[in-house]
Structure 1
Amino acid sequence: MKRHCFAASIALALSAGIANAGPIGLVDDFSGSLGSYTATRILKATPAAPDNTAQWEVSGGSLQLNTSVYGGIEQYALTRTDVTLGVGEELQADYLGGNLDSQDIGLYVGAGHPAADVRADYVNVYIRNNGQLFSRGFDGLTEMSLGGGATPTNLESLFIKRLATDVFELGYYNDGGLRNIVSTRTISGGNAAGIGDAIGFYADVRAAGVRGNMDNLRIVPEPAAGLLALGMAGVAAMRRRR
């Protein structure tokens, strides 16, 4: 299912033109494989507990995490580094609801692929299986405070916007494109210079079952930068016609 907010975001990207950093538009509609991603367990809450058997997978054209054997609380990141999030750009993905067997799923922006069983240098925004929406992250190895807690109606998509090199805005869209900011995070420690080099998804598993579905991962440009690029392209085209 491709939600209307995806179409609106792509229309914005096309109308705004090409911004000054990074690829713009659709990154993945989950109609193929996950070969561009690296799956990493970033937390095993109880080291003595049996490992979960969990797998990120594409099902019905969207992304989900399938935990077939549950041993204990674990958190995961699914990241790719072939696409980066530039300053002024916004990472978005649609939330399709359903598959509420586990705990959390959402967006992740970090500094390269994370190390196994290490939570560091990332920000995230996610939806719980009870409908609550939260944001958290790590400044280096220091855990940031939990933000959010609202239960939005008609949730459409999640976003992480890079306001500056080290500042990120996290939130969601609902009710026909209403933009809601959950928190603003500043990364100053650890590998702060690398934040934005990896984009992808986050999940927190606290039960067996399937958690999803996320769809249409995309990057939307900052309107001002895109309009400037579009204007410059128009001037160049007029000169060529003359």
Structure 2
Amino acid sequence: YVKQCEIVADTALSYEEYFTSMERIKPIRPHTELQSRQVDLIKSMQNEGQPWSANMLLLAVRYSGANDIMGQSNTMYGPAAALYGLMLQNRRKLRLSRTDLKMSLTNYSTSIGNLVAEADSYYENTRERLNPNDYLFMLDKAISVINESKRDILEPNAGEEEIAYLTEQREALINALPFVNALTSPPDAMAITEHPELLDEIMVTNLAPIKSANKLRLGGRFLSLWRRF
């Protein structure tokens, strides 16, 4: 139950949702020192008038860079893509700026692509074949979300590069379907589900600032909004 509360808090769409989830932990056990410091930090962000989306964006950026620093598997790209997807699908509720919207769109595409690429590498190392069905649903969802989100950027050709990239990956997977003989899926192949069950590693990993793997695609924007302890 505590773990589920942590997951819901980490995928919250507002300060209120975050604090409600964290308060539900207290009757089960007191907050850890880490959780107490985090709650205090979030309260400080709220008092300073920081938008909640700032927290979501920084966490997603850190997840997407976890592989470079921590040597993690594709589980880090899964949560990153999930958070970017949540931001895009709730872009109006979160009142994302055009800059943050473009960043989320680009890095959503990149995270999905990295997830599929790492899965392919997993199968290559285990001498198995990647099962396209484990990943086609992710690509279909991402293409659909980007198609909807790009309209709010109000720029010519917004999102077209990302859609072309994901479509190319999708076609490659479909072409591989006749050759599939894989019996197992790599760890966390199904990591991306609907909110709030989409993250299974919360408050344990990424407890120090992590360099983004997508820094070249972030346009050099510096984020200093929420550093987890």
Same fold (TM over 0.5): no
TM-score for both structures, normalised by structure 2:
0.31
Higher strand proportion, which one?
1
TM-score w.r.t. the length of structure 1 is: 0.30
